[in-house]
Structure 1
Amino acid sequence: MKTSILVIEGSMHKMFVLDTSVLLHDPRSLYAFGDNDVVIPAVVIEEIDGKKNHQDMVGRNAREIARELDRLKELGSLCEGIELPNGGALRVEINHKSLSGFREYFHEINNDNRILAVALNLHKEEDMKADKRQVVLVSKDVIMRIKADSLNIMSQDYLHDKIEYAEEEYQGILNVSVDPDVIDRVYRLGVVNEGDLEEISANYHIHPHQFVILRDSYGSSKSAILRYDVVMKKFHPLRKGEEAYWGIKGRNAEQRMALELLLDDSIRLVTLTGRAGTGKTLLSLVAGLVKVQDERVYQKLLITKPVVPVGRDIGFLPGDKDEKLRPWVQPIYDNLEFLLDAKHITDIKNTLIGLKNIEIEAMTYIRGRSIPNQFIIIDEAQNLTKHEVKTIITRVGEGSKIILMGDTEQIDHPYLDSQCNGLTYVVNKFKDVSIAGHVTFKKVERSALAQLAAELL
């Protein structure tokens, strides 16, 4: 039996009006506002209805929020308001939609302006009360928030799923100033002795597989790179990162650290972040070819990336699946051809066709698969949502290794940013996990011009 729970005016200190973009970004956002009042304008329900048949993440989220609202309506009338488990209240707002006072500011009648009109009318109504509540418009749409501000309505981005990921926090690399004798002992003994280990561990929180760069406290160029072995509880110098593979050798400390993680079979998840041209894709492909072609540790090299266009989409592409996918993954082919050329293979096109254990797949076809004994590379992972990255990692089968890489400064997804994306989410959630490792790249190695562009533009 339904129990109608009326939202009592004045019982909440804030009223959050949710834009469609918030619900399509996170269907669980209904429960993210504590004991406050959550309001969904009726036009938002119409917009969700228009997205429910999309065969992408937006469509999936539209269907999920529809199911969630259908479940909640069993608790009472959504129009009158129902109580949420966290002590808050939810209602679908079918009133307060008048555009009479709104059109003097914005003339066009569209769904965004209808949502803004609801927020404005609620704001005016609350402003006349003695125990008024603050009305806040929550939207992932920057323009919506700007419009709300011009109407003197408080607005904010949806912050619930943002990860604290300041640049000075975890990057997989820690610089430590030590006495030069410590560095000398590392090169002489090959490990850090117990006394030095205790001193470093006492002063710093060390994560599994984190790299520590020992620098001379007196200012000389003397240094040493160590990696923390979480199993043995000790630091040791790089073992694999100093060598050349398929004609490629780490050109700087960060690339050598990345190779160390990529070539370690005990590490099942590697995350690499950094600007374009730092070598993330090339090094991952090198490691994949070594492990699949040379050492036969994995049965197949699987490479994929989210299909998110930069700039205006060029529309439908002719051909079969592989021909349609080719423009999106051309950078992968460019790097593979570079590596094969380094091996002095002249017939590159036929060689790529002949390598049956290299698969370049569209991200669309990952769902539902189980991927065992494969070396998996996910490029441009910064364009994945939290749910998408969970879907991908949960596909990883027994004996597989997965690499997630991308540049969090170059996000093409309309509702993601540097603090709210799948790659950042994974970096922070897995930083204390013993089978995961991370490196943040700083130095661009593509060219001097690319380095300058990354810094100045």
Structure 2
Amino acid sequence: MGKANQIYVLDTNVLLQDPYAIYQFQPHEVVIPAVVLEEVDSKKRNMDEIGRNARLIAKMVDQLRDGGKLHQGVVLDRGGVFRVELNHRSFKHLKDRFAEMTNDNRIIAVALNLQKEENEKANGCEVVLVSKDALVRVKADAFDLRTEDFLNDRVIETDKGYDGFETCYVDQEVIDQFYKSGQVSVTMLPDRSFFPNQFVVLKDHVQPSSSALGKVDLLGHSIKPLVGEHEQVWGIRPRNAQQKMALELLLRTDLPLVTMIGKAGTGKTLLALAAGLLQTEDLHLYKKLVVARPVVPLGKDIGYLPGEKEEKLKPWMQPIYDNLEFLFDTKKPGELDRILAGMSSIQVEALTYIRGRSIPDQFIIIDEAQNLTKHEVKTILTRVGERSKIVLMGDPAQIDHPYLDEYTNGLTYAVETFKKEALSGHVRLIKGERSALAQLAADLL
């Protein structure tokens, strides 16, 4: 068995986020404390993504037993060693600072005791505790343990994700040609590269008030005007440049996937619903408008809640109903329910009820998509049928899922994966349009 120069102790949340994490540390040694296996075991009956990952971990660890005794360590196919740590559970070095024997503290104790043992060796290894829990890393740091976040599942390497638009400062001649000929070549913007369907704001670098808004064509060769200046869509008018971009994407029939990111109050849900109603009810481009959002907390299926299905859904779907009331201009209590009852083409559902179905000829809106894992987004997108359009939207800065963050969630995954594809479009909405107070609160709080 080869000698590793580092020992990585993995926290439970790393495995539940990515079961294949044990293979990401070659050629080093990977150690799983026994308490981690106990925590994984407690999750395997969950009927959600966490439960699925827990069952996968159990299967993978069981298969590794073919290579030898897990507590002694087995060599992985691509190098490195995997070991389940049954010893080094002593609390002696922790009890002065963290007396309570929580599972987190047990994991820290294993890493700390391993490090002390390695320090006594002439050529001992460095022990690294890998956890997605910031507080575990903070507590471990108090004992001079090296800690790391697990970044292999990050969709983006930096804090800056894809916005879907770019501002370019150019000579006035470029803007004049854009308006005169209806397009400009991307070669007129040297040192710039664009994705298909990306929006471009052209500004005169001498007089920035002179500008033009265009979009990159499907091939990424030229910048063309938007299809139309959408004055009104079901009574909704775009109030800023990003909302114009969003409506352009939402109303294009050649883009089966649209992603939108933005803080609360930027108009994501209202714009998507207005565009969906126009194309479903007025233009009859789709047979049905389906609006869904994950039931949060995701750890509990909606069946745990009291009452009938409609009663259970109401609290979670209320933001959707609020926007529908605005679009239908309802004044009286119960009026929206009567309207929706008479319009079978509009369906408001919890995401639990649409996963696993084949969905043809429908305009599908998935709200709060930042609470979906990468696997869940894949599951949904692979169910989209012929002639359907799906809109994924949310705010990656507001994650309710315990094992996701701004850089690993399904919405960010979809944005970054599809940004090079001609059949999708994306925009980040920036400006809040609810009120001056709402915008200030979104920025400050």
The aligned residue for residue 374 of structure 2 is 386
Counterpart CA distance in 2 for 1:78 and 1:398 is: 48
Alignment pair present for 1:192 and 2:186: no
The aligned residue for residue 4 of structure 1 is none
Alignment pair present for 1:153 and 2:145: yes
Alignment pair present for 1:97 and 2:89: yes
| SS, match of residue 167 in structure 2 | strand
CA deviation string 1:230-260 (max 9, x = no partner): 1484321112343311011111100000100
Counterpart CA distance in 2 for 1:292 and 1:434 is: 24
The aligned residue for residue 246 of structure 1 is 234
1:219-368 equivalences under 5 Å are: 219-231=207-219, 233-309=221-297, 317-341=305-329, 347-368=335-356
Counterpart CA distance in 2 for 1:232 and 1:173 is: 13
AA aligned opposite 2:51? G
Counterpart CA distance in 1 for 2:66 and 2:335 is: 65
| SS, match of residue 328 in structure 1 | helix
Alignment pair present for 1:39 and 2:31: yes
Say which of 129, 132, 138 aligns to 1:137. 129
Worse-superposed segment, 349-358 or 116-125: 349-358
CA deviation string 1:373-405 (max 9, x = no partner): 211111111111112211211121222111111
Alignment pair present for 1:402 and 2:394: no
Change (3 A) 1:241 1:132: farther
Counterpart CA distance in 2 for 1:67 and 1:112 is: 24
1:45-56 equivalences under 5 Å are: 45-56=37-48
Tell whether the 8 Å contact from 1:173 to 1:212 is kept in structure 2 after alignment: yes
- Cα drift, residue 348 of structure 1: 2.9
Tell whether the 8 Å contact from 1:38 to 1:91 is kept in structure 2 after alignment: yes
Say which of 384, 398, 401 aligns to 1:413. 401
AA aligned opposite 2:201? I
**Quick one: percent identity of the two aligned structures?**
54
- Cα drift, residue 215 of structure 1: 0.4
CA deviation string 1:336-368 (max 9, x = no partner): 111111899x94331112111111121223332
Alignment pair present for 1:64 and 2:56: yes
Corresponding residue pairs, total: 443
- Cα drift, residue 453 of structure 1: 0.9
Worse-superposed segment, 241-250 or 363-372: 363-372
Tell whether the 8 Å contact from 1:84 to 1:90 is kept in structure 2 after alignment: yes
Worse-superposed segment, 322-331 or 356-365: 356-365
Tell whether the 8 Å contact from 1:25 to 1:58 is kept in structure 2 after alignment: yes
Counterpart CA distance in 2 for 1:257 and 1:180 is: 23
- Cα drift, residue 167 of structure 1: 5.5
The aligned residue for residue 23 of structure 1 is 15
Alignment pair present for 1:118 and 2:110: yes
Change (3 A) 1:165 1:247: farther
| SS, match of residue 39 in structure 1 | strand
- Cα drift, residue 193 of structure 1: 4.2
Alignment pair present for 1:174 and 2:182: no
CA deviation string 1:238-289 (max 9, x = no partner): 1234331101111110000010011111111111111110001111111111
AA aligned opposite 2:200? V
**TM-score (normalised: structure 1):** 0.92
Tell whether the 8 Å contact from 2:356 to 2:380 is kept in structure 1 after alignment: no
- Cα drift, residue 85 of structure 1: 2.4
Counterpart CA distance in 1 for 2:6 and 2:381 is: 37
Change (3 A) 1:85 1:365: farther
| SS, match of residue 71 in structure 1 | helix
| SS, match of residue 290 in structure 1 | helix
Tell whether the 8 Å contact from 2:19 to 2:57 is kept in structure 1 after alignment: yes
Tell whether the 8 Å contact from 1:246 to 1:342 is kept in structure 2 after alignment: no
The aligned residue for residue 3 of structure 1 is none
- Cα drift, residue 309 of structure 1: 4.5
Tell whether the 8 Å contact from 2:130 to 2:150 is kept in structure 1 after alignment: yes
The aligned residue for residue 14 of structure 1 is 6
- Cα drift, residue 228 of structure 1: 0.9
- Cα drift, residue 136 of structure 1: 0.8
Counterpart CA distance in 2 for 1:167 and 1:270 is: 22
AA aligned opposite 2:315? P
Change (3 A) 1:169 1:142: closer
AA aligned opposite 1:450? A
Alignment pair present for 1:73 and 2:62: no
Tell whether the 8 Å contact from 2:75 to 2:82 is kept in structure 1 after alignment: yes
Counterpart CA distance in 1 for 2:220 and 2:436 is: 41
Quote the RMSD (CA, aligned, Å). Answer: 2.3
Change (3 A) 1:94 1:168: closer
Tell whether the 8 Å contact from 1:97 to 1:114 is kept in structure 2 after alignment: yes
| SS, match of residue 109 in structure 1 | coil
Tell whether the 8 Å contact from 2:16 to 2:403 is kept in structure 1 after alignment: no
Counterpart CA distance in 2 for 1:34 and 1:213 is: 45
Counterpart CA distance in 2 for 1:232 and 1:342 is: 44
Tell whether the 8 Å contact from 2:35 to 2:106 is kept in structure 1 after alignment: yes
* Alignment gaps of 5+ in structure 1: 1-6
Tell whether the 8 Å contact from 2:112 to 2:143 is kept in structure 1 after alignment: yes
